[in-house]
Amino acid sequence: PTILEQYIAQHPGSAERYRKAVGIFPGGVTHDNRYAEPFPLYITHGLGPRKWDVDGHEYIDYVSGHGALILGHSHPAVADAVVEQMRRGTHLGACTDEELRWARAIMNLMPSIERVRFHSSGTEATLMAMRLARAYTGRSKIIKLQDHFHGWHDYAMAGSDRPAPGIPPEAWGSMVIVPAGDLDAVQQAMERDTDIAAIILEPTGAHYGQLPFDVPNYLLGLRQLCDQHSVVLIFDEVVTGFRASPGGAQVRYGVSPDLTTMAKIVAGALPGGAVGGKSDIVDMIAQRGDPEWDNTQRVYHPGTFNGNPLSAVAGATCLELIASEPINQNADAMADRLKAGLNDVFTRTEVSGHAYGIASMIHFTLADGDFDHEFGPDVNRRIKAAAATPAVSSIKRGLQNRGIDIMGRDALLVSATHHEADIDQTLSAFEATLAQVRE
Ligand code: PLP
């Protein structure tokens, strides 16, 4: 049987649920990236590095909650904290000790955060960061890097190479798209246009490093250009935050942004996001009784679930563990083993391809090259072209048939609960899958 025939035969429960879902959700799914032909998997529960589907199959999970699960599924300390908080109230309609504890846990890990505000998602965080930068500088345009992902609001989607129905052209008119990794392009944009408020980027490259650039030199160059032109530097650390290192990409590379956007791990894998950074910028949100303070010039920021106590205790518990235990070290060590093993499989099977990535964020590509050390427009083109081939989808399906679930089509996010046996089982499945795909 083919990979696809095996997939269909093995997952009747998922197929049946999907048939019902297409009449309920657009495309049958609640997140664009969960859409899959002929149907996606339905998962019932997860524990540590593993999860189970409705047909009873067990998976080693590298989706890792879209990056949120550095502690693995259902970490006991997070689960206990959330259950206890449930009993004390899920929304107290007030300021809480929990939000203070959560903010302190963030500031403890990321020294650039002098002030912080909470949201419900990363999309809200990047929207607020852009608004803060515009309000603070009195300028209107934002530089965004080609292919970099910042959620789904109108400005974040600028530069996408597909049409975007529903987005007013004015929104994109205020966005300046430059090729990623190219400092000259940023310099020219800043010199040409005095209306640039900020530059936003994923600090390890698009899609948490799938399209790499020369870190830290590129980040250092951006820091200098932003200082020269009084432009706000925004690191979108929604994925890299607390994963690239306990203090994110900014601490790993020693480059301090003006604003940082966070989500996923920051909320202990519950819904939540945050924007933080320099006090004079984030304080644009502040209201004051002081008659000298012009409250009409402030940035508006309500939000029913901002700083909600469930996300607060989950986030604080997770970040306190990251600060006190070798969470990142363990995840990174297993990711290194996985990356080396995947490259070994590519070599042994003589399939052209490469695994690369930073910390616990691994990508593989069927393009040939050493993408931990090579970057630039040509590398990006090769990686993007290789990612679009049907073989990549077949590898994903083949891995699922063998009990491995990966993020998107070609990424593996490793948690602190993955152990050597999980990695080795993954490598055997990868080798068998590559052999099957090559047939
Ligand atoms: N920024 C980055 C770098 C992301 O990867 C994501 C989501 O994957 C977002 C922003 C949007 O976050 P959310 O999905 O919580 O809205």
Note the CATH number of domain 76-324. Answer: 3.40.640.10
pLDDT for position 24: 98
66 lines ligand 1 (CB under 6 A): yes
Q: What is the dihedral of CA 399, 400, 406, 410, to 10 degrees?
A: 50
- The reported pLDDT for the residue numbered 292 is 87
Distances (CA, A) of 133 to 58, 127, 170, 237, 259: 46, 10, 18, 17, 9
DSSP character string of 40-89? ---EEEEEBTEEEETTS-EEEE-STGGGT-TT-BT-HHHHHHHHHHHHH-
- Maximum Cα interatomic distance, the chain, rounded to a whole number of Å: 76
Length of the chain: 439
- What is the C-alpha to C-alpha distance for residues 335 and 325, in angstroms, rounded to an integer? 17
The pLDDT value given to residue 391: 94
- Residue segments in the chain with a per-residue pLDDT below the cut of 70: none
Tell me how far apart the alpha carbons of residues 137 and 234 are, in angstroms, rounded to a whole number.
13
Q: pLDDT value at position 160?
A: 78
Closest ligand 1 atom to residue 273 Cα is 15
Q: Is 63 in the pocket of ligand 1 (CB under 6 A)?
A: no
pLDDT at 162: 77
3-73+326-438 is classed in which CATH architecture? Answer: Alpha-Beta Complex (3.90)
Grouping H, G, I as helix, E, B as strand and the rest as coil, residue 412 is: strand
CA of 238 to the centre of ligand 1 (A): 6
CB of 236 closer than 6 angstroms to any ligand 1 atom: yes
Parse the chain into domains and list their residue ranges.
Answer: 3-73+326-438, 76-324
pLDDT the model gives residue 86: 98
Check if 237 has its Cβ closer than 6 Å to any atom of ligand 1.
no
Which tens digits make up the pLDDT trace of 330-360?
999 999 999 999 999 999 999 999 999 999 9
Ligand 1 neighbourhood includes 122 CB (under 6 angstroms): yes
Q: Say how many Å lie between the CA of residue 156 and the centre of ligand 1.
A: 10
